Amino acid sequence: MGRELESGDSNTQSLCPECFCKIPARRVMKGQDVYLVKSCPNHGESSTLVWRGAPSLSEWFRPKIPYVNPIPNTGAQRGCPFDCGLCAGHRQQTCTALLEITGRCNLNCAYCFADASTKPSPDPVLSVIRDWYQTLLSSGGACNIQLSGGEPTMRDDLPKIVALGRSMGFKFIQLNTNGLRIAHDRSYLIALKEAGLSSVFLQFDGVSDQIYMKLRGREILNAKLEAIENCGEVGLGVVLVPTLVPGVNTGAIGAIIRFAAENLNVVRGVHFQPVSYFGRYPSKPLDEQRLTLPELMAMIEIQTSGAIRMENFNPPGCENSMCSFHGSFVLMPDGDLVPLTRRGSFKRSMAPEKAEDGAFKTRKFVATNWSKSGSAGYTQGDAGISFGPWDTLLERSRTHMLCVSAMAFQDIWNLDVERLKDCCIHVVGESGRIVPFCAYNLTSSDGSFLYRGRHIR
């Protein structure tokens, strides 16, 4: 069907969607597109689109020196992804750890990683959550925390969970929420802020209720807007998180970015998540139902009329190059978005960066830029001299910076074990093990999870 990638790592491994057995796989190019081709002795060969269009995957690739975990929590016996804990074979530190503090939810979304609220287990008690925090500290130190679920605001004691994490040394704690409770319960939001909450990671799929009806089953745009307004009033920064589903809201990408730019007093960024087919939607998608990173970058350029260009995005320094992109922009008084990032400045010939250095920089960037903007920083009066337009750019980079990024999660159909080994977004599972996000959420073709809801497979 095509040719194998010219880079030396076209061969990898994956899992069979039918039986979860580990099988060989290879990345194959067809024009500029890349497919993951794998073959199971029991269920035959399958092919899944993983990269479509420019820039080519070989251009985009960013080399890293793998991190060697000095304190693995589990032994490497069956091989990735069956030994997560993390094992000695994992090649990156934890940048962000998700703690799933409830399985309950007040929505029933068409797309849900957790298949939340179907048959929720009892909420973990505070002593268990304390153990989760301690596991992270013992496994590499304080990282960024995201409190997730289910819908974490279903818990009345959520402020205590935030305060507990802060007391144990976690400086950046973010709430992953649909926003419904914080839209109408300001006292609850104030309690979260006072407990030490740093940021709100808000489900935000578009600026029309037609989109929410299709994806979330309810008209909830007004609740989203009220949640953002309340966060601004109590001093919490918001990151908008759209789940992008082809044919549903991929035409709303530009509108979401414009909305973010118009609300930079509260909104710190937009973090797009192209739909992955696991959790509540484990069926194999057609190639047309996939949205790959280069396609998303092209859509952003088109739908912002070139205000944001593909060349303004860089590959990640933390996770695998195939997993994400990011760019930073400053909104100027005349409405222009000035890019602070440009791929032309990234030299593929540069010496590979240590993976742990990329993780440190990412943790610091997220903690600094996804929180509410502050007044500290360089101003013209600090030095008593003027640099003309540079003064404005420097000043507004503190108060009017917009981060635009995306994360392409893996499902059972496009799982690439080499990518998974580089994962820096981890879930502390019910058993207390630290599991890469995509492995934790992997769903077979019959809807069975590899890790979620299991103490060990």
- The listed range with the strongest mean pLDDT (63-77, 298-312, 327-341) is 298-312
- How far from chain centre, in Å, is Cα 244? 13
Q: Tell me which amino acid residue 309 is.
A: R
Give domain limits for the chain: 3-58, 64-441
| Beta carbons of 204 and 177 less than 8 angstroms apart | no
pLDDT in tens, 329-386: 999 888 899 998 887 555 544 578 888 878 788 888 887 777 775 432 323 333 343 3
pTM of the model: 0.92
Question: Average pLDDT of 39-49?
Answer: 93
pLDDT > 70? residue 249: yes
Question: Average pLDDT of 145-162?
Answer: 97
pLDDT > 70? residue 4: no
Q: Is 129 left (phi over 0), alpha (psi -120 to 50) or beta?
A: alpha
Q: What are the residues whose beta carbons fall under 8 Å from the beta carbon of 236, sequence distance 6 or more?
A: 189, 192, 193, 197, 198, 199, 200, 266, 372
State the pLDDT at residue 93: 92
pLDDT in tens, 166-191: 999 999 999 999 999 999 999 999 99
| Token output for 11 | 């061969």
pLDDT > 90? residue 121: no
Distance CA 437, CA 432 (A): 14
State the pLDDT at residue 362: 83
Query: Which residue is it, tokens 């750890």?
Result: 97
18: which DSSP letter?
Answer: T
Helix/strand/coil percent split, the chain, to 5: 30, 20, 45
State the pLDDT at residue 279: 66
| Beta carbons of 255 and 245 less than 8 angstroms apart | no
- The listed range with the strongest mean pLDDT (88-92, 128-132, 136-140, 453-457) is 128-132
State the pLDDT at residue 49: 96
Nearest alpha-carbon partner for 214 in 182, 180, 178, 246 = 246
Write down the architecture of domain 64-441 according to CATH. Answer: Alpha-Beta Barrel (3.20)
What is the four-CA torsion angle of 28, 30, 31, 34, rounded to 10 degrees?
A: -50
Angle 53-54-55 (CA atoms, 0-180°, nearest 5)? 140
Q: What are the residues whose beta carbons fall under 8 Å from the beta carbon of 445, sequence distance 6 or more?
A: 17, 18, 282, 283, 284, 412
Q: What does 42-84 look like in DSSP terms, one character per residue?
A: TTEEEEEEEE-SSSPHHHH---EEPP--SS-SB--SS-TTSS-
Least confident piece of the model among 150-159, 182-191, 292-301, 374-383 = 374-383
State the pLDDT at residue 379: 34
Characterize the bridge pairing of strands 96-100 and 401-407: unpaired
Distance CA 295, CA 281 (A): 22
Distance CA 401, CA 264 (A): 7
Nearest alpha-carbon partner for 58 in 22, 5, 136, 137 = 5
- Pick 112 or 125 by higher pLDDT: 125
State the pLDDT at residue 342: 85
Angle 171-316-299 (CA atoms, 0-180°, nearest 5)? 115
